[in-house]
Amino acid sequence: MAGTRFQLLSTFSRQFSSLNNVTTVQPKIRIDEIRGRRLSIFDKEHKRQQDLIPRLEKIEVTYEGLNDEKTTLVMNKGVSTPYNCAQHINEQLLKRSVVAEVNGEIWDMHRAIPADCTLKLLHMKPEDPHQATLVNKAFWRSCSFLLGAIVESAFQDEISVCLHSFPPANVRSGSFVYDVQLNLNDWVPSQNDLRQIAASFQKFVRQDHIFQRLDVDSSVALKMFEDNAFKAEQIPHIATKSSTGRSVTVYRVGDHIDISRGPMIASSSLVGRCSIAAIHKLNSKLYRFQGVALPSEIHINHFAFSVLESRARKLNPARTPELKSN
């Protein structure tokens, strides 16, 4: 449709060059209303869980650093996070840490530590190959999450945007992915469209949003995503795989909330150079948005990055989701 505009972080808009003469199917609820309601539910549930902590108890966190360095920290049970621990060690470690390892389990930097533990803080260049794989997956997973955040708010109110899901992180695929349903007919994205989404992505990550994790009951998750038929279908299945049979993990970044088992990286600012390489149409309404990115501490020349972009343009081989909801 003529005059449809693309919104960059809801602060200003430009015209999507390829949306002229494209028709839409039905209007949508304003995304700021949807996000405001989700945030209200998130904040209320977070406060409820914090109020369940009767009193502060101390735990011992043994930080294991380089060259068998060990430091014992006395922290607050169920409140202190790996990020808080890093604050007590040194500034450089704080800035570089992407994810943590708590008693051998990969752990979000902003996730509370529940008991005495050993702690390792991992950056984007760990020497251990297994740790490197886990860190890379957390980075790729976080990029997919951020891509969903951008796409969900990218279009004006006339175009309905319904996030479906993103596949498990697979660095070898060459691209991070988010599958999205759009009520557009015959949209063929242009290179200018891809550049605008990439610019929005870059602006968002530079705002240094932390990834805030919250485990909620499936009933709370269903309230959060009652506007999204796909998420509503996925939530009961996700909950049955949790340790309690009822729990769903959600993350908040800025004003965006989505479902993921995680773990995620500490902050959006850990994402450096990026590109939105392709948008593939999977069926009549489902589009696969694909991107490629580097960690902020890794720099390569333009030619090398163009090779990564070229690879990321190919249709990501992840399984195409089944659309059971209308």
- pLDDT tens by residue, 142-161: 999 999 999 999 987 788 99
47 vs 187 pLDDT, higher one: 47
Same domain, 231 and 106: no
323 vs 244 pLDDT, higher one: 244
Same domain, 265 and 214: yes
Which helix or strand (DSSP H or E) is residue 202 part of? helix 191-205
Check which CATH number belongs to the domain holding 63 and give it.
Answer: 3.10.20.30
Strand, coil or helix: 7: strand
Instruction: Please give the structure tokens belonging to residue 258.
Output: 């989505």
pLDDT at 326: 53
Same domain, 227 and 260: yes
Check which CATH number belongs to the domain holding 159 and give it.
Answer: 3.30.980.10
Of 123, 157, 178, which residue is a domain's last? 123
The string of pLDDT tens digits covering residues 302-326 is 999 999 999 999 999 999 887 665 5
Does residue 319 sit within a domain?
Answer: no
Same domain, 262 and 157: yes
- List C-alpha distances in Å: 186 to 1, 4, 287, 291: 11, 14, 11, 22
Give residue 19's pLDDT band: very low, low, confident or very high (50, 70, 90). low
Euclidean distance between CA atoms 304 and 322, whole angstroms: 36
Give residue 285's pLDDT band: very low, low, confident or very high (50, 70, 90). confident
Euclidean distance between CA atoms 161 and 148, whole angstroms: 10
Mean pLDDT, the chain, rounded, equals 90
pLDDT at 270 over 70: yes
Same domain, 116 and 208: no
Nearest to 323, CA basis, from 224, 258, 234:
234
- List C-alpha distances in Å: 232 to 42, 53, 212: 16, 30, 21
Nearest to 37, CA basis, from 233, 232, 225, 253:
225
Euclidean distance between CA atoms 155 and 135, whole angstroms: 32
Same domain, 306 and 194: yes
pLDDT at 24: 41
Same domain, 290 and 178: yes
Same domain, 118 and 266: no
Does residue 318 sit within a domain?
Answer: no
Residue 170 has, within 13 A of its CA and on its CB side, a CA count of 14
Domain assignment of residue 289, given as a range: 2-46+133-312
The string of pLDDT tens digits covering residues 61-100 is 999 998 788 999 999 999 999 999 999 999 999 999 999 9
Does residue 326 sit within a domain?
Answer: no
Residue written as tokens 């990115």?
A: 293
Instruction: Please give the structure tokens belonging to residue 238.
Output: 């996700």
Instruction: Please give the structure tokens belonging to residue 42.
Output: 């998130």
pLDDT at 288 over 60: yes
Same domain, 168 and 259: yes
Give residue 15's pLDDT band: very low, low, confident or very high (50, 70, 90). very low
Q: CB–CB of 177/207 below 8 Å?
A: no
**Structural domains in the chain (count):** 2
Give residue 16's pLDDT band: very low, low, confident or very high (50, 70, 90). low
Q: CB–CB of 276/287 below 8 Å?
A: no
Does residue 241 sit within a domain?
Answer: yes
Kindly report the CA angle at 165 between 133 and 239, in degrees rounded to 5? 85
Sheet bearing 70-76, strands edge to edge: 70-76, 58-64, 117-122, 99-102, 105-107
- Pairing verdict, β 70-76 and 12-15: unpaired
Does residue 285 sit within a domain?
Answer: yes
Same domain, 94 and 212: no
Residue written as tokens 């007919």?
A: 185
Does residue 317 sit within a domain?
Answer: no
Q: Average of pLDDT values for 23-28?
A: 44
Does residue 53 sit within a domain?
Answer: no
Same domain, 119 and 138: no
Of 70, 91, 123, which residue is a domain's last? 123
Does residue 321 sit within a domain?
Answer: no
pLDDT at 23 over 80: no
Same domain, 106 and 143: no
